[in-house]
Amino acid sequence: MKKLLGLGVLVLMAAAVGAYVYFKNCYESKGPLAQPVLVVVPKGANSRLVGQSLYEAGVISQPMLFRLAARFTGLDKHLKAGEYLFEPKISMAQVLDKINGGDIYYRKLTLPEGLTSAQMVEILNHNDILSGEVLDVPAEGSLLPETYSYKLGDTKQDVLNDAQNQLKQVLDYEWKHRNPDVPVNSPEELLILASIIEKETGVPQEREIVSSVFANRLKIGMRLQTDPTVIYALTQGKSDLGRSLTRKDLKIDSPYNTYQNLGLPPTPICNPGKDSIHAAAHPADTDFIFFVADGNGGHNFARTLKEHNQNIKSWLEKKRKDNN
C-alpha cells in the first residue's frame, strides 16, 4: 500500500512538473501572430475578455491559458486599458507585460510649417481617430508646426492644446535669447516676423539671411514689400490663392499689405516652425535689403537697388530659357 501511495505521489509530482514545463513553455515561447495587429483593451476589462480579444486577433492561441497566467502572476489585477500594437511572434509573457505596463500604441499627426490656423484645424477635423471636433479656429500663429503623438481616446482639442502650449514654450525661449538688435518690440512681433520668413523661403540655410533683410528694412523705415502678406490679405488664411499676384493685388487696401504700409502686419500670416522663429530672433549679420528668386528654389540677395535689378534681370533670363 505504501509503495502504491509512493508511486502515486511520484506520478502526481511528475504530472505537476510536466504541467509546469508545458505551461512555462506556452507562456514564454513565440506566439502564433503572423502580422502586426492592434488590439483595444477596454476600460475595466477582465482577463477573460482580454484573453478572448487577443485570441480573436490571433495574438494568442489559448485564451484559457492566458487567464490562468494572468491570475498566477497577479497581473490580472493590473490590465491597463488602451490600444496596443502587437508584433509577430510575441509571447504570452510579453503580451501580459505590455498590457500590465500600459505600453499603449501612439499614433502620429503632422501639422506642417507654414499653414494657417484654419488649415491646421482642417487637418485635425479630418482625422478619423481623434474624437470631437474643433469648432473655433485659434489665433493665427498660435500653433507650433510639429509631429504630435496621440493615443486612442484623445480629442482633436487635446492635440490643438498641445500645439498651442508648444508654440508658447518655443516663442518664450527665443524671445529671452534673441539678438538684442532685432527690431521688434514684443514676442508677438517676433512671431509675426517669423511667419513672414516661413512663407518667404523653404531653404533652411537662407532663413537667417532672409531675416536679416527684413530686420534691415525695419531699421531704416523701409516697407517690407513681401508678397506672402498680400496673399494673406486676399485670402485671410482660409485657402491658397491659386494664382500669381498681379499689380492690382499689390494695391489692395489692407493692413496686411506691406507694399502699402510701413512695418509689420497686425498678426502672423501663418504658423511658423521652430527654425523660422529662431531665424527671426537671430538674423544673419548682413547689409542686404533686397532679394529675389534665383530660379533654383532659393534667392539672390543684394545691398543696392542696382545689384537687385541685375538679379531680377538674371532671374527673368533664366525663366525665359526654362520656358523655351
Backbone angles phi, psi at 41, to 5 degrees: -100, 110
Q: What's residue 141's pLDDT?
A: 96
Distance CA 157, CA 275 (A): 25
Among 89, 104, 119, which residue terminates a domain?
Answer: 104
Q: What's residue 288's pLDDT?
A: 96
CA distances 257 to 40, 152, 174, 263, 286, Å, are 52, 43, 27, 10, 25
Task: Give the residue-averaged pLDDT of 286-308.
Answer: 89
Task: Give the residue-averaged pLDDT of 94-103.
Answer: 93
Please state, for a pLDDT cut of 90, what percent of the chain lies above it. Answer: 72
Q: Is the pLDDT at 45 greater than 50, yes or no? A: yes
Among 104, 126, 149, which residue terminates a domain?
Answer: 104
Distance CA 49, CA 317 (A): 72
User: In 306-317, which positions are buried (b, 16+ CB within 10 angstroms) versus exposed (e)?
Assistant: eebeebeeebee
- 99 plus 113 within the same structural domain: no
- 80 found inside a domain: yes
Number of separate domains in the chain: 3
Q: Is the pLDDT at 78 greater than 90, yes or no? A: no
Name residue, grid cell 502686419: 265
- 161 plus 111 within the same structural domain: yes
What CATH code is carried by the domain that includes residue 320? 3.30.160.60
DSSP 93: H
- 172 found inside a domain: no
- 59 plus 73 within the same structural domain: yes
Determine the structural domain holding residue 139 and report its residue range.
106-167
Q: Lowest-confidence range among 21-25, 168-172, 312-316? A: 21-25
Distance in Å from the first CA to the final CA of the chain:
108
Question: Could you report the per-residue pLDDT of 170-211, keeping only the tens digit for each?
Answer: 999 999 999 999 999 999 999 999 999 999 998 999 999 999
- 283 found inside a domain: no
Backbone angles phi, psi at 219, to 5 degrees: -65, -35
Q: What's residue 13's pLDDT?
A: 53
Among 122, 144, 167, which residue terminates a domain?
Answer: 167
Name residue, grid cell 507650433: 144
User: In 45-72, which positions are buried (b, 16+ CB within 10 angstroms) versus exposed (e)?
Assistant: bebeebbbbbbeebbbebbebbbbbbee
Closest CA to 271 of 93, 139, 153: 139
- 72 plus 130 within the same structural domain: no
- 2 found inside a domain: no
Position 94, amino acid: Q
Residue 199 cell numbers, joined:
512663407
- 38 found inside a domain: yes
Q: What's residue 237's pLDDT?
A: 83
Residue 127 cell numbers, joined:
482625422
Task: Give the residue-averaged pLDDT of 292-314.
Answer: 87
Residue 75 cell numbers, joined:
497581473
DSSP 225: -
